[in-house]
């Protein structure tokens, strides 16, 4: 790769992509399309028009390259293609496809540009374009940052339309009937007399012509699938036990492995595996980086045996005790750790010269822990490596595996799998690396590594730890000034560092949800401080906004109350972005805001924008004798266009449950260098008895189409804290809240 490419690759960052200065590509490099990966494997009679559509005499396959970790993007991608191709569900198969630069993510560069989503100025547009170019030239195939829908929306509709028009043209050649007299409908070209020629029968013909690039998109009024309630393609399989996940895959000749890796993330100083070696079914004990692995004929036997290995662990490369982590964060509000001053409007110093309202907030480490434990199958041969796992960064995975096996990245085959959740967990590589390290020691044998839940907790890279200090002033019933300082470790730098990537410039995730608030507070300052790496961290559903959104919207609520204003009315007064106004008005209406709540009840509101999506939530709680009960949540989000209403509602409800559950009862704390929480008994999130009713409204103002996987998370915690304050008068400034109040 050229030097420019190298710079750009090292400068790439998920979630808060920032360009290193002066990266530029020649126009040709940027315009040149990537090769269609489907060309290479075409069988007799098959045709492909672009990287997403494969039509053969027997079947139609749609490639849905964004990883499905439960958010429903396989279905979403297929619906976009099927809409334009005039296919009905059931008329096609879907496949995640092979990793390819052709599947570069067009939205992620844009989303990562450090400009307000409403900013359409020159610098913002130029940077977004440049970042898109980086993504394209480097072929960044990534699922994350709530970008699957914005990345796919235009691209896959165009791909589907090109396929449709090319098939129509093939029908014209076949029948000699002009194509404007041919209809495409339900997987067939239909002749004026009603005769149907299925696409599958036209594939050979279509293979002889160039794709018809001039293919109009279907107008919104004619959408059959997009924006409609459709049945998820995987819903029957997932309701009948037929859906296979990575953990269910079986490869002939496969052995089962389990690992224990230093829970302090230090080195393995010694071990005694004699007991393990003699246990039933155990065939081998091998070393892996910082740990040991047992290979056996069954997962449980591997678990039992690896737990019987006596290991000596070296010390942690970070403070051993949790109190020291907090002390380091608290000591980071200093000039030399200032990452960036993100906002400086009005005259904050002057505005804060009188009576000042002050508060300090904390957000702990939190684990990802999707319900499917991490797992991967790897087989290494001389010719290459084969991997079966669910992963969101397929091409990085190829590099990571190749670096261990000594192959080239393109000699690594990934069979991407449906995943039992991710929440950021499947952006990491440790389990794949470990499986590969075992597999290189037994060439030709497929090795299935399954993490025990306890190992998954121990090796999880949690959400960033952070603190905020707010100072503010009010006058005449209004919020006049707010000065927020946020200190947190950079999960982006930690995560990217593990795959050898730098994060140049400031990390916009540290103050995410605060630096970009769509409010006009007369004097407003936001400063972010980068705490040096403590325990390694990673992207956790909604990343920086999951903690900073809590800081910003809690502090704003304190100021609003100090001003004696109404929390929702004052937010509406301050809101400058029509999208923010729309979601606030929606939740006001949905919740009947302004009514007198029943005794011991209170309503709280919060609005946070993340990943370009403003989301407002109102929560109603009741202080009961058994503790706080969360009755209702009303949510409104503005995503431009709701592409899949079922997934939209499900993602919003799930995001609220995720945000609330972790705010209530989850944290990872370190003692003796190890995470103290090792299973769901001490880190369970929300359970059904705590789950409120959740009413959801998608507000569609018709602008850019955005994703909804993460944005519902950040407002949940502050809306809950604000509601508890309204009901009880008690301010919660630290998560998890169950350290301070009881919940039913």
Partner 1 sequence: MQFTVNGVPREVDVEGDMPLLWVLRDELGITSVKYGCGIAQCGACTVHVDGIAMRSCQLPADSLEGAQITTLEGLAEGETLHAVQEAWIAHQVAQCGYCQAGQMMQAADLLAAVPEPTDADIDDFMGGNLCRCGTYPRIRAAIHDAAARLREG
Beta-sheet strand order (sheet of 466-475): 338-345, 523-531, 478-489, 466-475, 357-363
Helices 122-137, 3-10: axis angle to 10 degrees equals 110
User: C-beta of 453: minimal distance to ligand FES in Å?
Assistant: 8
User: C-beta of 550: minimal distance to ligand FES in Å?
Assistant: 24
Q: What is the rounded CA–CA span in Å between residue 9 and residue 310?
A: 41
Picking from 731, 377, 709, 312, the residue whose alpha carbon sits closest to that of residue 551 is 731
- Does position 369 interact with partner 1 (CB under 8 A)? The reply is yes
Binding site partner of 93, from partner 1, ligand FES, none, Cβ cut-off 5-8 A by kind: none
Q: DSSP assignment of 158-188, as one string? A: HHHHHHHHHHHHHHHHHH---GGG-EEETTE
| Joined tokens for residue 612 | 């370009």
Largest CA distance in the chain: 84
Nearer to ligand FES, 67 or 311 (CB): 67
Looking at 256-298, list the stretches that DSSP marks H as alpha helix, in order from N- to C-terminal side. 274-277
Distance of CA 495 to the CA centre of its chain: 13
User: C-beta of 237: minimal distance to ligand FES in Å?
Assistant: 13
Would you call 97 helix, strand, or coil by DSSP? coil
- Does position 119 interact with partner 1 (CB under 8 A)? The reply is no
User: C-beta of 684: minimal distance to ligand FES in Å?
Assistant: 11
Nearer to ligand FES, 70 or 518 (CB): 70
CB 127 within 8 A of CB 686: no
Nearer to partner 1, 98 or 455 (CB): 455
Binds partner 1 (CB under 8 A): choice among 129, 269, 679, 730: 679
Phi, psi (deg, nearest 5) at residue 396: -65, -40
| Joined tokens for residue 303 | 């678990």
Side-chain-side CA neighbours of residue 442 (13 Å): 25
Binding site partner of 122, from partner 1, ligand FES, none, Cβ cut-off 5-8 A by kind: none
Residues in 343-372 that interact with ligand FES by CB under 6 A: 371
Q: What is the rounded CA–CA span in Å between residue 116 and residue 613?
A: 11
- Does position 70 interact with ligand FES (CB under 6 A)? The reply is yes
CB under 8 Å to 533, separation ≥6 — which residues? 318, 489, 490, 493, 494, 497
- Does position 373 interact with ligand FES (CB under 6 A)? The reply is no
Q: What is the rounded CA–CA span in Å between residue 424 and residue 461?
A: 10
- Count, residues near ligand FES per rule CB under 6 A: 3
Stretch that binds partner 1, among 92-100, 162-170, 574-582, 690-698 (CB under 8 A): 690-698
User: C-beta of 658: minimal distance to partner 1 in Å?
Assistant: 5
Binding site partner of 349, from ligand FES, partner 1, none, Cβ cut-off 5-8 A by kind: none
- Does position 421 interact with ligand FES (CB under 6 A)? The reply is yes
Q: DSSP assignment of 665-699, as one string? A: H--B-EETTEES--STTSS----GGGPPEEEEEEE
| Joined tokens for residue 26 | 């020649």
Nearer to partner 1, 176 or 242 (CB): 242
Please provide the size of the chain in residues. Answer: 744
Nearer to ligand FES, 421 or 661 (CB): 421
- Does position 715 interact with partner 1 (CB under 8 A)? The reply is no
- Does position 231 interact with partner 1 (CB under 8 A)? The reply is yes
| Joined tokens for residue 185 | 């409908």
User: C-beta of 390: minimal distance to ligand FES in Å?
Assistant: 13
Q: What is the rounded CA–CA span in Å between residue 39 and residue 49?
A: 9
Residues in 644-673 that interact with partner 1 by CB under 8 A: 646, 650-651, 653-658, 661
Nearer to partner 1, 561 or 629 (CB): 629
- Does position 446 interact with ligand FES (CB under 6 A)? The reply is no
CB 412 within 8 A of CB 529: no
CB 423 within 8 A of CB 543: no
- Does position 238 interact with partner 1 (CB under 8 A)? The reply is yes
- Does position 453 interact with partner 1 (CB under 8 A)? The reply is yes
Binding site partner of 650, from partner 1, ligand FES, none, Cβ cut-off 5-8 A by kind: partner 1
Phi-psi region of 384 (alpha: psi -120 to 50; beta: other; left: phi over 0): left
Phi, psi (deg, nearest 5) at residue 19: -80, 135
Listed in order, strand segments (DSSP E) in 65-153 are 93-95
Site string for partner 1, 53-72 (x = CB under 8 A): ----------------xxxx
- Does position 144 interact with ligand FES (CB under 6 A)? The reply is no
Q: What is the rounded CA–CA span in Å between residue 741 and residue 725?
A: 11
Residues in 390-429 that interact with partner 1 by CB under 8 A: 418-421, 423
- Count, residues near partner 1 per rule CB under 8 A: 63
- Does position 591 interact with partner 1 (CB under 8 A)? The reply is no
User: C-beta of 371: minimal distance to ligand FES in Å?
Assistant: 4
Nearer to partner 1, 416 or 653 (CB): 653
- Does position 680 interact with partner 1 (CB under 8 A)? The reply is yes
Nearer to ligand FES, 300 or 349 (CB): 300
| Joined tokens for residue 28 | 């040709």
User: C-beta of 238: minimal distance to partner 1 in Å?
Assistant: 3
User: C-beta of 360: minimal distance to partner 1 in Å?
Assistant: 30
Site string for partner 1, 277-296 (x = CB under 8 A): ---x----------------
| Joined tokens for residue 627 | 């503790």
Nearer to ligand FES, 227 or 421 (CB): 421
Q: What is the rounded CA–CA span in Å between residue 163 and residue 161?
A: 5
CB 158 within 8 A of CB 215: yes
Which residues sit at the interface with ligand FES, rule CB under 6 A?
A: 70, 371, 421
Binding site for partner 1 (CB under 8 A): 69-72, 231-232, 234-245, 247-248, 250, 256, 280, 298-301, 303, 369-373, 418-421, 423, 450, 452-453, 646, 650-651, 653-658, 661, 679-681, 684-689, 691, 693-694
């Amino acid at each position: 790769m050229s030097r420019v490419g190298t710079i750009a690759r090292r400068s790439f960052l998920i979630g808060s992509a920032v360009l290193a200065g002066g990266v530029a590509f020649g126009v040709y490099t940027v315009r040149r399309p990537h090769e269609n990966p489907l060309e290479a494997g075409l069988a007799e009679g098959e045709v492909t028009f672009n990287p997403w559509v494969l039509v053969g005499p027997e079947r139609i396959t749609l490639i849905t390259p964004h990883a499905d970790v439960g958010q429903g993007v396989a279905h979403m991608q297929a619906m976009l293609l099927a809409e334009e191709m005039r296919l009905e569900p059931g008329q096609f198969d879907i496949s995640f496809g092979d990793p390819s630069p052709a599947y570069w993510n067009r939205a992620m560069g844009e989303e990562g540009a450090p400009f307000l989503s409403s900013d359409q100025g020159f610098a913002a547009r130029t940077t977004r374009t440049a970042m898109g170019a980086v993504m394209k030239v480097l072929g960044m195939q990534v699922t994350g940052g709530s970008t699957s829908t914005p990345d796919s929306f235009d691209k896959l509709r165009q791909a589907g339309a090109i396929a449709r028009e090319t098939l129509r043209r093939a029908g014209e050649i076949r029948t000699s009937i002009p194509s404007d007299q041919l209809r495409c409908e339900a997987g067939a070209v239909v002749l004026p007399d009603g005769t149907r020629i299925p696409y599958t029968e036209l594939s050979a013909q279509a293979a002889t012509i160039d794709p018809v690039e001039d293919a109009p998109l279907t107008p919104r009024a004619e959408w059959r699938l997009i924006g409609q309630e459709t049945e998820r393609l995987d819903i029957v399989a997932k309701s009948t036990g037929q859906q296979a996940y990575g953990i269910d895959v079986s490869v002939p000749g496969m052995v089962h492995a389990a690992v224990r890796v230093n829970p302090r993330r230090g080195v393995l100083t010694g071990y005694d595996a004699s007991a393990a070696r003699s246990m039933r079914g155990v065939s081998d004990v091998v070393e892996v980086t910082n740990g040991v692995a047992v290979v056996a004929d069954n997962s449980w036997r591997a678990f039992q045996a690896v737990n019987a290995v006596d290991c000596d662990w070296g010390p942690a490369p970070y403070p051993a005790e949790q109190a020291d982590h907090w002390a380091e964060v608290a000591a980071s509000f200093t000039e030399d750790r200032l990452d960036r001053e993100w906002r400086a409007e009005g005259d904050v110093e002057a505005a804060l010269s009188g009576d000042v309202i002050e508060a300090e907030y904390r957000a702990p480490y939190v684990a990802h822990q999707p319900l499917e434990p991490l797992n991967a199958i790897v087989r290494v041969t001389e010719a290459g490596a084969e991997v079966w796992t669910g992963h969101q960064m397929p091409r990085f995975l190829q590099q990571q595996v190749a670096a261990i096996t000594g192959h080239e990245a393109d000699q690594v085959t990934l069979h991407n799998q449906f995943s039992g959740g991710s929440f950021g967990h499947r952006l990491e590589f440790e389990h794949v690396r470990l499986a590969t390290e075992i597999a290189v020691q037994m060439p030709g044998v497929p090795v299935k590594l399954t993490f025990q839940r306890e190992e998954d907790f121990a090796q999880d890279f949690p959400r960033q730890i952070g603190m905020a200090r707010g100072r503010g002033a009010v006058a005449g019933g209004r919020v006049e000034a707010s000065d927020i300082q946020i200190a947190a470790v950079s999960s982006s730098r930690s995560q990217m560092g593990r795959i050898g990537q730098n994060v140049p410039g400031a990390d916009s995730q540290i103050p995410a949800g605060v630096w970009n608030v769509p409010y006009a507070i007369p004097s407003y300052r936001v400063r972010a401080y980068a705490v040096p790496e403590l325990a390694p961290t990673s992207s956790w559903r909604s990343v920086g906004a999951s903690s900073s959104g809590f800081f910003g919207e809690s502090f704003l609520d304190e100021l609003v109350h100090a001003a004696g204003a109404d929390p929702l009315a004052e937010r509406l007064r301050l809101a400058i972005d029509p999208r923010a106004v729309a979601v606030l008005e929606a939740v006001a209406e949905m919740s009947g805001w302004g009514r007198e709540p029943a005794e011991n009840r209170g309503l709280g509101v919060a609005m946070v924008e993340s990943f370009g999506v403003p989301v407002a939530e109102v929560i109603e709680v009741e202080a009961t004798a058994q503790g706080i009960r969360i009755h209702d949540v009303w949510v409104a989000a503005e995503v431009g266009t709701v592409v899949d209403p079922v997934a939209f509602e499900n993602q919003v409800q799930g995001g609220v449950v995720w945000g609330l559950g972790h705010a209530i009862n989850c944290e990872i704390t370190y003692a003796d260098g190890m995470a103290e929480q090792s299973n769901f008994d001490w880190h369970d999130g929300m359970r059904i008895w705590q789950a409120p009713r959740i009413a959801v409204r998608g507000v569609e103002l018709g602008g850019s189409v955005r994703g909804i996987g993460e944005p519902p998370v950040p407002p949940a915690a502050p809306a809950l804290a604000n509601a508890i304050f309204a009901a009880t008068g008690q301010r919660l400034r630290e998560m998890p809240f169950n350290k301070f109040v009881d919940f039913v």
